[in-house]
Chain A
């Protein structure tokens, strides 16, 4: 892929092609961006994906439905619970299984906890990308409390495979609930710390405010979903528009921006942490007793047909399109990945920004390459 310099630019220099990645401290994983620069201003930013393309959709055709659950963990490895949930709910729709109440409540708690963990990692990674390594240390320390909770429940810190077809893997203990209440009580203190250290920092704000503003119609045309779209002013969240599971039982706000610059894309996720904590508190209060796994057959053989089901993950709309031919393995499994389409907007977002802002744009898009490449 050769980019030929195209002559003298308005600033009097030649168009300069700079390669960023695939190994670079400022890319969230193996993402390569080919930048064409007029001096320090970006004229064109072409993302190159595929460095983590592992063929998950083809592997799905060689695995049974329950065997595919660990692969959904490794899609967007920062928010594994949400991916598990989206996949299991799609299969449950296909098979026609009703999940017990207690399992539904546990699923919501786990998904929202994972949202908080993912957003905390986002805050730290954004601070790190803009040069403030201390921010990463603080958020990683706090994220460890959430990983402790997940460790208690599922045995694993990162890739849980906790949500299963028909319910969840096993029940949560009293110790888990106590630790969760303690975490929710400590969370406002943690957020105040980030406000003082990261969000309130003048330089941090100056680097993000007013940068990379794109009209919302272009974002819609680009297929962007998630906090990036909500920052531009569209109140679009699947938990509210097409509630899945029992999300319609909870009261929560959807943070929405007005201008759609990098600052608002950042603040969306900061505000969502508070709303997720709200949802978890409501779920804890309403947690019923009962089984955590429905009575499903040992071998899952869905009827011939197809289904599409989407969830709102921390990155946007994650959808599973499953075509079943009546056997134990899917005929075709396609994953609608939010990061894939969000990364398609890099060129639009990076028009006219400086090189340092490219790192900021990539950071606030919050890409996860395991999901973009699948």
Chain B
């Protein structure tokens, strides 16, 4: 079979340098800081807590399932116990009756931990904002790192939110920030 000019050029091109091989250079040694390594490890392996409250929980489950695979980012390990989790995704409407258990869940999670407010109910009450029993936004009670708008947000939006959180985690460590 004839090899075209374009294919010859492609075959002759040098191997693209990956960032890791750039870093490794010739000595197989990388010099970095502990914070950066920790940030790289934490950002690439969030362990979310199974804290789905309402409809958004279904999109979270769909994101963890086969089609919108969260596992390729390292985030598929949804832990039932807060002691093992480091990411609280508040997916759904938070009511005042559920608020003390949720805050207790957050307090039970060990440091470092992050909170994602998924869906408009968690961001600001959503369609139930003027109800008597709904907390108007999870950030009234917990420090939120990433807000994912939508009602419910598509699984791709949740992925984008978690990747944004990864960027946040890795950027903070690079600047020497606390989280």
Contacts and interface: CB of A to CB of B under 8 A. Distances in A.
Q: Do chains A and B touch in the complex (CB under 8 A)?
A: yes
Interface of A: 22-25, 29-30, 50-56, 58-59, 62, 70-71, 74, 77-78, 121, 136-138, 140-141, 143-144, 147, 157-159, 369-370
B65 A140 contact: yes
B154 A59 contact: no
Given A52-B95, A58-B132, A141-B65, A158 B53 contact: no
B67 interface: yes
Nearest to A49: B97
A352 B52 CA distance: 30
Interface string B17-40: 000000000000000000000000
22 contacts: A22-B101, A23-B49, A50-B97, A51-B95, A51-B98, A52-B53, A53-B95, A54-B128, A55-B132, A55-B133, A58-B132, A77-B54, A77-B58, A140-B62, A140-B66, A140-B67, A144-B62, A147-B62, A157-B59, A157-B154, A369-B54, A370-B54
A23 B50 contact: yes
Nearest to B155: A157
B74 interface: no
Which among A29, A30, A53, A138 has the highest number of chain B CB atoms within 10 Å? A30
Nearest to A54: B128
Contacts of A138: 66
Contacts of B98: 22, 30, 51-52
Nearest to A74: B55
Nearest to B49: A23
Given A55-B133, A140-B62, A23 B101 contact: yes
Contacts of A159: 55, 151-152
Contacts of A29: 52-54, 57
A24 B51 CA distance: 8
A144 B67 contact: yes
Contacts of B92: 52
Interface in B77-122: 80, 92-93, 95, 97-98, 101-102, 105
B67 A52 contact: no
Contacts of A71: 127
Contacts of B61: 136, 140
A58 B154 CA distance: 29
Max chain B Cβ within 10 angstroms of own Cβ: one of A50, A70, A71, A77: A77
B111 to A, nearest CB: 20
Interface string B133-156: 110000000000000000110100
Contacts of A24: 80
A60 to B, nearest CB: 11
A370 B98 CA distance: 13
B54 A74 contact: yes
A143 B66 CA distance: 11
Contacts of A77: 54-55, 58
Contacts of B55: 74, 77, 158-159, 370
Contact of B131 (A51, A58, A144): A58
B130 interface: yes
